[in-house]
Amino acid sequence: MSGTGLINTPVGRCNFVLVPLAFDSYERRYLAIKLLVSLVLLGFSTALAQTTYHLEILIEGDPISWTAPGFSTTTSDTFTVPSGTERIMIDFAVGLLDLNLADFGIWDFAHVIGVKVQTIAADSYSFSATVRHNDQGWEHYANRWYVSGDDVQNGVRELLHPHDNEQPFTRSTSGVRATGEVVFIAEDTVHGTGGSTITLDLRRLPESDFSLETRLSIQAE
């Protein structure tokens, strides 16, 4: 008996191949069935594995509410996703977090984990970004962060040296012209972009100084 086929599992279809065997004994039939059942159970266990994260978003030091669209298993400060989930979008009152979960705790990519906004004049700002990255000397370090948007001028902050022993770190830039929604993005010398980002709607911020901090951790089982 030989051939190929598909097994439907919670994580999708699993290809399988039946290797020709001379089923001339009960023992061989039993082993083949046992192998097939094991493959199905492996698919189920992979699908059921989940990771719970604890997330705080603080504005001016005070925690605020947030939502994770598409994920029903959330509480006031946690969200649960299938293990292996690479990214998740988090909505909050004045913006959006794009979290790179796959790189959490590794920090191979440069992540923006906090921002500050100071209004200088109409559509003119001083911005600060707090960056987290596993700097490893000149070969691999976070070398810039910038503000992206439809109408942004002078929004790049170069980072001229590694910060191996200062993590996370905060750097500022002033004289930025911007309107509407802006995204704070960090880069490193190896991967470029890809880390967590923070989006803010400048139209919804208070006219006074504004600060936002994020705290993410994996919740122990």
Q: Are residues 57 and 84 in the same domain?
A: yes
Q: Are residues 83 and 150 in the same domain?
A: yes
Torsion of CA 162, 166, 167, 171, to 10 degrees: -70
User: Burial level of 77, CB count in 10 A (0-12/13-18/19+)?
Assistant: middle
Cα angle value 151/69/178 (rounded, 5°): 10
- Give the number of other Cβ atoms within 10 Å of residue 10's Cβ: 11
Tens digit of each residue's pLDDT, the chain (221 residues) = 555 554 444 444 555 444 454 545 666 565 656 566 555 444 444 446 999 999 999 999 999 999 998 775 676 799 999 999 999 999 999 999 999 999 999 999 999 999 999 999 999 999 999 999 999 999 999 999 999 999 999 999 999 999 999 999 999 999 999 999 999 999 999 999 999 999 999 999 988 899 999 999 998 76
Q: Are residues 102 and 23 in the same domain?
A: no
Q: Are residues 130 and 87 in the same domain?
A: yes
Q: Are residues 123 and 211 in the same domain?
A: yes
Q: Are residues 133 and 102 in the same domain?
A: yes
Q: Residues 152, 177: contact at Cβ < 8 Å? A: yes
pTM for the full predicted model: 0.78
Q: Residue 25: CA atoms inside 13 Å, Cβ hemisphere, count?
A: 3
- Give the number of other Cβ atoms within 10 Å of residue 101's Cβ: 19
Closest CA to 97 of 216, 187, 202, 15: 216
Give the per-residue pLDDT at 36.
60
Q: Are residues 25 and 82 in the same domain?
A: no
Residue 101's domain comprises 51-218
Q: Are residues 143 and 123 in the same domain?
A: yes
Strands 181-188 and 156-158: unpaired
Q: Are residues 34 and 74 in the same domain?
A: no
| Residue with tokens 């979008």, as numbered in its chain | 89
* Alpha helix segments (H runs only) across 83-169: none
Rounded-to-integer distance, Cα 80 and Cα 73, Å: 6
Question: How many domains are contained in the chain?
Answer: 2
Residue type (1 letter), 172: S
Rounded-to-integer distance, Cα 177 and Cα 26, Å: 77
Q: Are residues 23 and 71 in the same domain?
A: no
Q: Are residues 14 and 66 in the same domain?
A: no
Q: Are residues 42 and 59 in the same domain?
A: no
